[in-house]
Amino acid sequence: MSDKYQISIFSGGRGAATIISALAEIEEISLTVLLNAYDDGMSTGYMRKLFPGMLGPSDVRKAFSNVLKSKQFPQDSYLSNLLEYRIGTTDRNGKTWNINQTLPAFTNFWHGEEFLNSYFENLPLIISKSLNRWTENAMNSIFEKIGPEKMRESLADVSFGNVLFVGAYLENGQDFNKAIECWKELFKPRANILNVTDGENKYLVGVKENGKLLLNEAEIVSKHTSAGKISRVFLLDEYLDTDELLEIQSGTLESIIQKISSLEALPKLNAKAKLAIDIADMIVYGPGTQYSSLLPSYMTKGLSNAVRDNQRAEKVFISNIAFDHDIVEENHESLMGNLVEYMNIGSSENARILKPDLITRTIVSSGTDLKFDMSVYDNSTDVNNLISFGKWAADQYTHDGDRVSRALLTIASMDTKLFENQSLKSISIVIPVLDEIKTLDYVLNQVITFDWLGEGYVPQIIVVDGGSTDGSWEHLKKIDGILTLKLKVSKGRGAALREGLLTASGDVAVTFPADNEYSVGAILDVARSLANKEVGIVFGSRSTLCADTDARLIEIYGGRTREYFLSKWGGMLLSIISAIRFRRWISDPLTSIKGFKGNEHMKLSFDGDSLDWDTRVIADSWVSGIPIMEIPVQYVPRTRQQGKKTTVMSGLVALMQLLHSRRKS
């Protein structure tokens, strides 16, 4: 077995093209692309009609093309382009395939070796010879079936790769999966490409919620003439004939589904695909055309059981970033629900396989048309931190393959030593809450939807309620993607932070307030600073980016002169005592953003229930010999009127902690 990290990704068509291309470039990954071949539209459908019993070659061709695209190996990129070359187009010398000749010799149908050698000079001879042989097999067979008159018109929009696949298919005894193996042996792609089924020829049909039948795969993926979602797609041995259509269309939606289901013949799982699932460290449900490229794959007999039984693997659902014709009325939640439903169609057991056995993480692109409604997400069945938001789109239709692959590597790095170049891999964000219902939703939305994976971190968001009476705690319990804790006895901010940090499991932990005074980007700045090997604790200072601290304090305290002076000189006093007693000049000891390395924060007592918690961190760091770094962070303060809670008494408690904490002996 390979010592590389094993990723199996469900794909098809161009939906996951950029992701597959990016993953194929990563040396530490062994990638398997799992696809189906039910495409029957346009030129692919024409080839299937010419060769009855053959599945559609287009998704196979696209998978090879995506994997062969390479920044490192130009020769593979030439081959990738060749697979996508359309017969009716001209080459760089202005030539088109010469398919007007009447003789059935393949050299009269195209440029032969001259074409290959002039268009892609760097192709090895062994590849060139095989391409010529497969082309001869395919073109001669097509010529016999349709004659010379129809050659140019019929093949004008056919990809050269489809012709090559037909040739390999014929050469391998009309065995679809053997033809794929033959391609792999010749092209040596940097990924294992597999048909998810054992190669049985099946046809895809569907029905919408309004009862309208979709008679083939092409109708499923094209623009629909009637509104409403697709209710179900089916895999049949043959297309529905006229008599079956008359009988089926006369009933209700329920009876239509029941009648077509009685004709359904699900394919068996490819043994090599099962092995890829069994040994996978990560199973990825790629984006793409859901009702043709993905959901039909999930219906394969035994697939869901294999996925469920691999309890070791991360199972990552990557949501679409735009609407295809088949999902115009869907959203992220319904797409995940569809995955679970179609997996259960192919299950070999009566017991239902649940979402947690099939999906452990979800990647959702922020700001796309498929709006993600967290309020309908079920906390009782979904794993905490299941959802990871990020800027995964390269444009309005395409995923940024590099960013998504980096996100997947970040998840992978949690469980393997293969990616040691990623220094800090997980981050715990501890948010104390006390009567913050006014700002809570906004702050949590900013934290949850931040592009953590894209920046190289797997987030753990811990929210600790210190005894809210304004409905904050009740609201927190409805939000998924966070771990919620509640203090048994209402104490203060320090007690809440202590509870959260002792629960944190990340490589780094960063505290963050729920009062909307700080930017979420400050968490990332602090976490990145902790990558410095000499630093164990980082404070995000509000002072270093402030042009006029006096003006800021006057604004905060709104003319309360006594509080203004106590805050100004009290803060300076804390900094001076910290410098004298503990040899640490801290410009902002009471900042709400503090970061800790996992192995370092275990050496701290975290004593203190209020602001004395902050100054105890300074004292404990001195005793434990942990260096503290300060970095500037942006800060927009609340005023007393807006709900600022810091009091003179809590400041005095913080001062007493500094004065009485023990020093090194």
Q: What is the DSSP string of 517-575?
A: -B-THHHHHHHHHTTSTT-SEEEEESSTT-S-HHHHHHHHHTT-HHHHHHHHHHHHHHH
Residue range 7-30, pLDDT digits in tens: 999 997 677 999 999 999 888 899
- Cα distances (angstroms) measured from residue 492 to each of 463, 540, 591, 612: 14, 21, 15, 10
Residue that is written with structure tokens 């393949």 in the block: 106
Determine which of 262-271, 566-575, 622-631 has the lowest per-residue pLDDT on average.
566-575
Q: Would you say residue 104 has pLDDT above 70?
A: no
Q: Is this model's pTM higher than 0.85 or not?
A: no
Q: What is the pLDDT of residue 230?
A: 95
Q: Would you say residue 214 has pLDDT above 80?
A: yes
Band of pLDDT at residue 91, cut at 50, 70 and 90: low
CA–CA distance, 574 with 588 (Å, rounded to integer) = 9
Angle at alpha carbon of residue 653, lines to 652 and 658, rounded to 5°: 95
Q: What is the pLDDT of residue 101?
A: 45
Q: What is the pLDDT of residue 578?
A: 74
Judge contact between 83 and 160, C-beta under 8 A. Answer: yes
Q: Would you say residue 267 has pLDDT above 80?
A: yes
Residue ranges matching CATH 3.90.550.10 in the chain = 493-660
Q: What is the pLDDT of residue 171?
A: 97
Q: CB within 8 A of 367, min separation 6: which ones?
A: 391, 393
Residue ranges matching CATH 3.40.50 in the chain = 1-36+271-422
Residue range 537-586, pLDDT digits in tens: 999 987 654 444 555 444 544 454 444 444 554 566 777 777 777 777 78
- β pairing state of 314-318 and 282-285: parallel
* Mean pLDDT, rounded, of the chain: 82
Q: What is the pLDDT of residue 639?
A: 46
Q: Please classify residue 546 by burial: count the beta carbons closer than 10 Å to its beta carbon, then call 0-12 exposed, 13-18 middle and 19+ buried.
A: middle
Band of pLDDT at residue 614, cut at 50, 70 and 90: confident
**What are the two backbone dihedrals, phi and then psi, of residue 65, each rounded to the nearest 5 degrees?**
-60, -45
Q: What is the pLDDT of residue 588?
A: 85
Judge contact between 31 and 20, C-beta under 8 A. Answer: yes
Q: Would you say residue 73 has pLDDT above 90?
A: no
Band of pLDDT at residue 468, cut at 50, 70 and 90: very high
- Max mean pLDDT among 148-162, 490-504, 612-626 falls in 490-504
Q: Going along 310-422, which residue ranges are E strands?
A: 314-318, 361-365, 387-390
Q: Please classify residue 551 by burial: count the beta carbons closer than 10 Å to its beta carbon, then call 0-12 exposed, 13-18 middle and 19+ buried.
A: exposed
DSSP 189-221: -SSEEEESBSS---EEEEEETTS-EE-SHHHHH
β-sheet with 203-208: strand ranges across: 213-214, 203-208, 230-236
Q: What is the mean pLDDT of residues 617-633?
A: 89
Q: Which amino acid is at 154?
A: S
Q: What is the pLDDT of residue 324?
A: 86
Residue that is written with structure tokens 């940090």 in the block: 501
Q: What is the pLDDT of residue 147?
A: 81
Query: Dihedral (C-alpha) 138, 139, 145, 147: value to the nearest 10 degrees?
Result: 180
Band of pLDDT at residue 292, cut at 50, 70 and 90: very high
Q: What is the pLDDT of residue 471?
A: 92
CA–CA distance, 83 with 60 (Å, rounded to integer) = 11
CA–CA distance, 657 with 618 (Å, rounded to integer) = 10
Q: What is the pLDDT of residue 76?
A: 67
Topology of the domain covering 1-36+271-422: Rossmann fold (3.40.50)
Band of pLDDT at residue 382, cut at 50, 70 and 90: very low
Q: What is the mean pLDDT of residues 310-322?
A: 92
Locate 27 and state its tokens. 């040396």
Residue range 586-600, pLDDT digits in tens: 888 888 999 999 877
Q: Would you say residue 140 has pLDDT above 60?
A: yes
Q: What is the pLDDT of residue 445?
A: 82
Beta bridge partners of 269: 197
| For the chain, percent of residues with pLDDT exceeding 70 | 80
Band of pLDDT at residue 315, cut at 50, 70 and 90: very high
Q: What is the pLDDT of residue 156?
A: 77
- CATH architecture assignment, domain 493-660: Alpha-Beta Complex (3.90)
CA–CA distance, 414 with 48 (Å, rounded to integer) = 45
SS percent in the chain: helix, strand, coil, step 5: 45, 15, 40
Q: Please classify residue 80 by burial: count the beta carbons closer than 10 Å to its beta carbon, then call 0-12 exposed, 13-18 middle and 19+ buried.
A: buried
